[in-house]
Each structure stands twice: as C-alpha cells, then as structure tokens.
Amino acid sequence: MTTSTNGRGPSRRSLLQAGGAGLLVTGALAACGDDDGPEVEPGPGPAAGSGDDVEVPVTEVPEGGAVYREGDNVIVSQPSSGDFRAFDATCPHEGCAVSRTDGAELLCPCHGSRFRMDTGEVVGGPAERGLTGLTAEVEGDTVRVQR
C-alpha cells in the first residue's frame, strides 16, 4: 500500500483499490454457495470431537432423508426403511459441514459437492473423495453413532 503525499498514511487510491479487492472476494465467496435443497434440521449434542457417541432418536431421521447434528458434526441418514447410515459431516473439499439433502444425496452448501446418502461416495465435485463413514447401530428407539 502506498502512503499519501503528506506521508501520514495510506493514499486514497490505495484504500480504494484495497476496498474494491475486498468486494470482489466477498462477491466470489457469495457466488460459491448453493441454495438448492432443504437444510437438514440441526440437532443438539456434545461438542464436536468430544469422542462421545452421538444418540439420535429413530423418529428424527426421515426415511429417504437425513438429520444433521451440528454440535457433533455428524449426519445420519435413512436411505431405506430401517437402514441407518452415519457420516462425519466434514466435506473433504474445504471442510464445510455437509448439512443439506436433495433426494438421495447429501449436499455441501458451501461449494455444491454432492454425496450418496447410502455410502457417502462423492457424486459431484468439487470434492474428489467421499465422506468418512461412521458406525451407526440401532438400539431400541435410538441410533447410536460411534465417533
């Protein structure tokens, strides 16, 4: 950044250039978002990385849908009746939370990566690999996800 002719700080020109660059970056980031697909309802839970198992009531996971546990960074899906799957919700592209669904796909709202609800495999990029699978077991009326 250049200083003004009076030597007291940045010149008006350099401030305007820096401000314009900031607007361009902000606009580019806003354009990356993907508003397609409903948000998966976040649920309560222990802090991410706590090592605690995550418990999700079976009734909260819709058949053919998923529930995202924001505090746990876990997404639990039920691709077909009684078949529960769980994944670490961290998108392998840039670490955003995969927190939306579109049919049988899980979506990352940041850059539009898409993953299969039943396997976590990547369907569309920019992610180049799938979600990390977690163990999900049904115990009575609860899906227990091991972290």
pLDDT given for residue 70 in this prediction:
87
Q: What pLDDT does residue 24 have?
A: 37
**What is residue 4's predicted lDDT score, i.e. its pLDDT?**
47
Give pLDDT, residue 147.
83
Q: Say what the pTM is.
A: 0.65
The pLDDT value recorded for residue 47 is 38
Whether domain 54-146 has CATH 3.40.50.1370: no
- 10-residue mean pLDDT profile of the chain (147 residues): values are 52 52 38 44 41 90 93 93 94 90 90 94 92 95 92
Of 93, 3, 25, the C-alpha closest to 106 is 93
Q: How confident is the model at residue 125, as a pLDDT?
A: 87
Contacts of 73 (CB under 8 A, 6+ apart): 48, 49, 88, 89, 90, 97
Q: What is the pLDDT of residue 74?
A: 95
